[in-house]
Amino acid sequence: MNTVKPATEYKLIQALFFVYAFLLMSWIPRFPEIKANLSLNLGGFGTLISTAALGGVVSLFFSGHLVHRYGIKRVILTNLWIMGIAYFFIVRTESAGIFLICNIAIGWSSSAYHICINAQGFDAMERVKNLTVSRLHGM
């Protein structure tokens, strides 16, 4: 089994946190364009955007079990794919139904990814001997 030095592990965890922040914030500047594609008023668009919370809450119940059963690597990679595909479709759709499904998928995958990187960060704190999670959240 290949082992990673603590300094290298810390840098890899920093990369995972950066990817998460980048993906989560990358589509927010496109909100006006997406709202115009859907031909919705501000209230309707706000209601649709808030449905990501549904996916996030449901993900909180299942992600820990998925990590325990399949491992962090598989769950992170799967949720990166889900998030990427959902972003691809959500910025191009003109259908509120497709937007709703993609937005719930984004909520699910971002919550699951967050659970995975925090689990990995807490696990790495023992080896890195550093306040990994609190430092990365502050970053």
pLDDT at 27: 85
pLDDT at 36: 92
pLDDT at 6: 77
pLDDT at 23: 86
Low-confidence stretches of the chain (pLDDT < 70) are 1, 138-139
pLDDT at 10: 81
Other C-beta atoms closer than 10 Å to the C-beta of 65 total 9
pLDDT at 24: 86
pLDDT at 117: 87
pTM for this structure?
Answer: 0.86
pLDDT at 18: 87
Q: What is the DSSP string of 63-125?
A: HHHHHHHH-HHHHHHHHHHHHHHHHHHHTT---HHHHHHHHHHHHHHHHHHHHHHHHHHHHHH
99-128 pLDDT, tens digit per residue, is 999 999 999 999 999 998 888 888 878 787
CA dist list (Å): 40 to 6, 45, 95, 125: 50, 6, 10, 46
